């Protein structure tokens, strides 16, 4: 019910602005998208669809371009010298590389969590409040308190830190820090959450918690996950994209990709012989 409401509103808003109509349930779409570092083509004519409220996984061996791909979704690659793109990346029908889109505001809609937890050396509260404060999302302290509490709850961290919000974030464990970073990203109310190997620097226990969290998060957000851990992709992912040397080799529901891979490359990778 809630999903339909968002979808309708999204479509209404989109068509009101004269954007291209999008497929139902689709949040982002890459249309013949290529990316270059100088003259080196690192992503080749990618076409794929990222569905709303699902977990889309990007998978592949080192150097396949999955990190580059996920970073193009929130234009984090803009600052890399010599970075060029061709093709479109549509967010709710609007090309994020188009001239009217401001990269800074885009990041309010598409948030990101990194491989190595990177909380700021300030208090837990201030970390979560950082984004909303910059964007002036709240007018009062109580509004901010509400956002901080809500975000920490959504990141499954509230109970553990609610009594020490003023303590430095650097005193938390690795897994807690990563959940804090998730809370921090959620605080600006993004529509899409990008997660670039969020658990690869964590111990198995924390990894499990993060995976549980990802499944929960997709209820309210669209999640894009980059991972090199196939079991994680199978556990958590709705759709899986397999990339190899910049090409999108295969894309489809997780079960299909892992059990009946269409491409021999995919099969090799799954078997571990790539």
Site size toward another protein (CB under 8 A) is 46
Residue 24 CB, shortest distance to another protein, in Å, is 17
8-state DSSP, 200: T
Residue 185 CB, shortest distance to another protein, in Å, is 7
| Residue with Cβ nearer another protein (36 or 114) | 114
Please report whether residue 32 would count as binding another protein according to CB under 8 A. Answer: no
| Residue with Cβ nearer another protein (190 or 261) | 190
Please report whether residue 107 would count as binding another protein according to CB under 8 A. Answer: yes
Please report whether residue 104 would count as binding another protein according to CB under 8 A. Answer: yes
| Residue with Cβ nearer another protein (119 or 237) | 119
CB 189 within 8 A of CB 105: no
Residue 58 CB, shortest distance to another protein, in Å, is 17
Please report whether residue 189 would count as binding another protein according to CB under 8 A. Answer: yes
- Radius of gyration, alpha carbons of the chain: 19
Backbone angles phi, psi at 64, to 5 degrees: -80, -15
Please report whether residue 191 would count as binding another protein according to CB under 8 A. Answer: yes
Q: What is the DSSP string of 140-168?
A: SHHHHHHHHHHHHHHTT-HHHHTT-TTSB
Please report whether residue 29 would count as binding another protein according to CB under 8 A. Answer: no
Sheet with 247-253: strands ordered across: 94-95, 83-91, 26-37, 40-51, 247-253, 239-244, 55-59, 222-227, 192-196, 110-113
Alpha carbon distance 12, 17 (integer Å): 9
Please report whether residue 238 would count as binding another protein according to CB under 8 A. Answer: no
Please report whether residue 216 would count as binding another protein according to CB under 8 A. Answer: yes
Please report which residue ranges of 59-189 form alpha helices under DSSP H. 66-72, 103-109, 124-134, 141-154, 158-161, 174-186
Alpha carbon distance 22, 98 (integer Å): 17
Please report whether residue 53 would count as binding another protein according to CB under 8 A. Answer: no
| Residue with Cβ nearer another protein (98 or 253) | 98
Among 43, 46, 148, 185, binds another protein (CB under 8 A): 185
Helices 141-154 & 174-186 angle (0-180, nearest 10):
130
Kind and range of the H or E run holding 16: helix 2-16
| Residue with Cβ nearer another protein (2 or 264) | 2
Quote the tokens at residue 81. Answer: 């010298």
Contacting another protein within 70-89 (CB under 8 A): 74, 76, 79, 81
CB 84 within 8 A of CB 115: no
| Residue with Cβ nearer another protein (206 or 266) | 206
- End-to-end Cα separation, the chain, in angstroms: 43
Residue 20 CB, shortest distance to another protein, in Å, is 18
Binding positions for another protein, rule: CB under 8 A: 2, 5-6, 9, 74, 76, 79, 81, 102, 104-109, 111-112, 114, 116, 118-121, 130-131, 134-137, 150, 153-154, 156, 158-159, 181, 184-185, 188-189, 191, 209, 212, 216, 219-220
């Amino acid at each position: 019910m809630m999903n339909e409401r968002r979808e309708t509103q999204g479509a209404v808003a989109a068509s009101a602005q004269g954007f291209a109509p999008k497929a139902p349930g689709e949040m982002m779409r890459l249309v013949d998208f290529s990316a270059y570092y100088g003259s080196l083509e690192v992503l080749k004519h990618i076409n794929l669809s990222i569905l709303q409220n699902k977990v889309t996984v990007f998978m592949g061996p080192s150097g396949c371009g999955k990190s580059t791909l996920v970073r193009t979704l929130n234009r984090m690659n803009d600052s890399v010298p010599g970075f060029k793109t061709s093709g479109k990346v549509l967010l709710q029908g609007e090309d994020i590389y188009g001239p009217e889109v401001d990269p800074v505001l885009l990041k309010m809609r598409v948030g990101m969590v990194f491989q190595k937890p990177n909380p700021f050396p300030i208090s837990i509260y201030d970390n979560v409040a950082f984004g909303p404060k910059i964007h002036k999302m709240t007018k009062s302290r109580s509004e901010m308190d509400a956002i901080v509490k809500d975000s920490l709850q959504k990141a499954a961290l509230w109970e553990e830190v609610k009594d020490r919000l003023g303590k430095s974030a650097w005193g938390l464990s690795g897994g807690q820090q990563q959940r804090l970073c998730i809370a921090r990203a959620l605080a600006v109310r993004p529509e899409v959450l990008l997660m670039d190997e969020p658990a690869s620097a964590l111990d198995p226990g924390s990894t499990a918690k993060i995976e549980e969290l990802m499944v929960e998060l997709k209820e309210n957000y669209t999640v894009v996950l980059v991972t090199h851990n196939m079991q994680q992709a199978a556990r958590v992912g709705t759709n899986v994209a397999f990339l190899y040397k910049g090409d999108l080799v295969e894309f489809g529901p997780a079960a299909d990709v892992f059990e009946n891979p269409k491409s021999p490359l995919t099969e090799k990778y799954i078997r571990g012989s790539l």
